[in-house]
Amino acid sequence: MSRNLQYVTAHLPMLQVEEEDLEKNPQFSKLLLEMCQFLEASGASVWLCNELEESHREMRIQRKLWFRSEVIYRLIQEILIELQVKKQEGTITDEENKFQDGLQQCLLVSECSRLLSDPDPDPGSVPLLGLEKQDLHDLLPSQMDVLWLRERLHKQLEDALRKKCFNFLSFHQPETGVFTYIALHFLLSLIFSLEINA
């Protein structure tokens, strides 16, 4: 078997080419050799496969970022619900009340800012309700309060996440030994691998 035929059949397995086909048609042989540089074994172009692989990689990154932010958002919602229950029961402290109010305010501003964010605004378009992002940022607590909220939120999120991971691992592995602690640490490091932007 000639080297050309081996090369063509290795790169384009979907073709049923015989050695005599290549010997009788040198131009066809040349065309196939050139096509091998531009086509994958599946028949798709190399450029298309590279673009597809890049798109899959970008999608995995975006999915990971979305999942992380969704987990954090749901944990924040749970924290706020727990604080609301404490408020209804009358057992909430002044510090917890301040934290709840500030966190709700920051969350509301964040959600509204997302609604006002238009990736491709028309030059003549009017923003929703005539509001700009800056109008919303004026509603945030003071810078010192935001820093205090962020610090406390990080701690509460970590504690809530650690508790959820531990419950999950305890359910799946009730004996909770060293392995569970290692798995818990691994799960926490996965979710907090990027810094939380509260």
Provide the pLDDT for residue 79: 92
Provide the pLDDT for residue 57: 93
CA neighbor of 198 nearest in space, from 144, 134, 141, 153: 153
Provide the pLDDT for residue 48: 82
Provide the pLDDT for residue 39: 72
**Same domain, yes or no, for 15 and 113?**
no
The ranges of the chain with pLDDT < 50 are: 1, 177-178, 194-198
**Same domain, yes or no, for 13 and 106?**
no
- Taking only the tens place, the pLDDT of each residue in 128-164 is 666 677 777 777 888 899 899 999 999 998 888 888 8
Label residues 77-100 b or e (16+ Cβ within 10 Å = b): eebeeebeeeeeeeebeeeeebbb
Angle between helices 46-89 and 26-38 (to 10 degrees): 20
Overall domain count for the chain: 2
**Same domain, yes or no, for 85 and 7?**
no
Spatial neighbors of 132 by CB under 8 A, at least 6 apart, are 116
Provide the pLDDT for residue 100: 93
**Same domain, yes or no, for 32 and 51?**
no
**Same domain, yes or no, for 148 and 169?**
yes
**Is residue 147 situated within a structural domain?**
yes
**Is residue 122 situated within a structural domain?**
no
Provide the pLDDT for residue 97: 92
**Same domain, yes or no, for 53 and 34?**
no
Provide the pLDDT for residue 127: 61
Domain interval for residue 140: 46-117+127-191
**Same domain, yes or no, for 30 and 55?**
no
**Same domain, yes or no, for 18 and 89?**
no
